[in-house]
Amino acid sequence: MTPKAVYVHVPFCEQICHYCDFNKFFLKNQPIDDYLDDCETEMKWTAQRFPSTTVNSVYVGGGTPTSLSTEQLRKLLVSIREHFSLAKRDSLEFTVEVNPGSADQDKLNMLKEVGVNRLSIGVQTFEPDLLNRIGRDHQPEDVKDTVKKSRNAGIDNLSIDLMFGLPQQTIRQFEDTIDQAMKLNIDHVSAYSLKVEAKTVFYQLQRKGKLSLPSQDTEADMYEMLIRKLSESGFSMYEISNFAKPGRESVHNLTYWDNEEYYGIGAGAHSYMSGVRRQNHGPLPKYMKAIKQGKLPYLEEHPVPLKEKMEEEMFMGLRKRSGVSVSRFARRYGQPVVNVFGDKIKRLKENCLLQERNDRIFLTEKGRLLGNEVFEQFLLDD
Ligand code: SF4
């Protein structure tokens, strides 16, 4: 098994959103060119140390990759092509994250030129007040403009990110956001409920009692509405938070849910290579210092024992609507899934949280709503 995917992290943003706990830094005065040189060095050393047969997907995320200048971004994308054994253009999924309004026509044309064929656009909501409340600096019209320019550039595989459960967000507002999203005629939607994470503006507000969030019931109603409305518009929910038109499922994200290995390049990036999960240094000075000293920039390395691999196969596989393949499990881990998780699967089936059919174990509708409670059942005792 060799890595099938490359993730590259661009940790710069032009604004810092109030909910965000990603590894990111305010763009101004950052050593961007030096960082990009270091990323290229990391790619070179990584590809030499962990050669791969063929990489099927590249995902450049952040941060905001399009906060780089056209030339900086081109350099980064070209180095990915140089250092990894990418599949041919027509069988490679090559995604770049784009913030609405952050990419002009030239930048989008350049993306197409270097082989990018999919964009993930950070929309979050179409409600101007809400955009403001969550700290985004784009307007709803910027989304339409970015979609139009992407298509002008010849990139037509478009995904958008939405959020729900936002401060003071009503069901009606979320419904309107979904309706507006559907008018864009895009191919893929990722929709996540807000989680208030430590070290964010929202976390501080919540501690002071100044964050008013929709109730859990309202949030559950939003999620159910999302599933219903997207399925009425021809999307199928192929993972708990991801919806696609036929054939437009994200190859890159499926690498994670299929528990496959992947490269991770850049500050704070995670990777999984040769059976070891790694995390890179997050702060730029630490990441860049490691590279300057001739070392791969790992903060942590964790060889994944068999027990953990099997647990992960279940947690991540069950996120997919298609669930976990019984025959694949046996092939990968040398034993049938019932030998390892038989009791748990039986109990979850009795509680109508899991179902098994045609070689697949998957969540029921009820199981999907109680996902985390199901996943934790698959933690094995030491
Ligand atoms: S959500 Fe995206 S754009 Fe906003 S601060 Fe985080 S990484 Fe930057």
Does the residue 278 lie in any domain? no
CA distances from 343 to 335, 350, 351 (A): 15, 11, 12
Residues 251 and 312 in one domain: no
How confident is the model at residue 378, as a pLDDT? 94
C-alpha of residue 246 to centroid of ligand 1, in Å: 29
- The predicted structure's pLDDT at residue 134: 97
Distances (CA, A) of 361 to 53, 131, 364: 30, 39, 10
Query: Would you say residue 56 lies in a domain?
Result: yes
- Do residue 314 and residue 194 come from a single domain? no
The strand pair at 354-357 and 360-363 is best described as: antiparallel
- Residue 18 inside a domain? The answer is yes
Q: Is residue 9 part of a domain?
A: yes
List the one residue out of 153, 127, 65 whose CA is nearest residue 102. Answer: 65
Nearest to 335 by CA among 310, 301, 314: 310
The residue to mutate among 9, 24, 125, 194, having the most atoms of ligand 1 within 8 angstroms of its beta carbon, is 24
CA distance 190 to 163: 8
Instruction: Mark whether 174 and 35 lie in a shared domain.
Output: yes
Atom of ligand 1 nearest to the CA of 24: 7
Task: Note the pLDDT of residue 306.
Answer: 96
Of 257, 285, 316, the position where a domain reaches its end is 257
Residues 111 and 225 in one domain: yes
Neighbouring CB atoms inside 10 A of 82's CB total 12
Averaged pLDDT in 10-residue chunks for the chain of 382 residues: 95 95 94 98 97 94 96 98 95 97 96 98 97 95 97 98 98 98 97 96 96 96 97 97 98 97 98 98 98 98 97 96 98 97 96 97 93 91 78
Compute the distance from residue 13 Cα to the ligand 1 centre, in Å. Answer: 6
CATH number at residue 80: 3.80.30.20
pLDDT at 380: 85
Q: Where are the alpha helices (DSSP H) in the chain?
A: 32-49, 70-83, 105-113, 128-133, 140-153, 171-183, 201-207, 216-232, 251-257, 284-292, 306-317, 326-333, 337-350, 365-369, 371-376
Sign of CA dihedral 344, 349, 353, 356: positive
pLDDT of residue 382: 76
Residue to substitute in 64, 68, 102, 124 for testing ligand 1 pocket (most ligand atoms within 8 angstroms of CB)? 64
Pocket probe mutation, ligand 1, options 10, 15, 16, max atoms within 8 Å of Cβ:
16
State how far the Cα of 43 lies from the Cα of 47, in Å rounded to an integer.
Answer: 6
* Distances 312 to 353, 370, 376 between C-alpha atoms, Å: 18, 18, 11
Same domain, 62 and 188: yes
Closest by Cα among 342, 341, 349, 344 to 367? 349
Q: What confidence score (pLDDT) does residue 1 get?
A: 79
Return the structure tokens found at 222: 């939003």
Residue minimizing CA distance to atom 6 of ligand 1: 20
Residue span of the structural domain in which 17 resides: 5-257
Instruction: Kindly give the distance from the C-alpha atom of residue 252 to the centroid of ligand 1, in angstroms, as a whole number.
Output: 20
Residues 9 and 66 in one domain: yes
Return the pLDDT at 140: 96
Calculate ∠ Cα 195-256-182, nearest 5°: 60
pLDDT of residue 52: 85
* Residue 289, in any domain of the structure: no
CATH number at residue 342: 1.10.10.920
Q: Do 363 and 251 share a domain, yes or no?
A: no
Residues 213 and 313 in one domain: no
- State the total domains in the chain: 2
d(CA 275, CA 272): 7
For 132-143, b/e burial (b = at least 16 CB within 10 A) is ebbebbbebebb
Per-residue confidence (pLDDT) for residue 53, from 0 to 100: 83
Assigned domain for 299 exists:
no
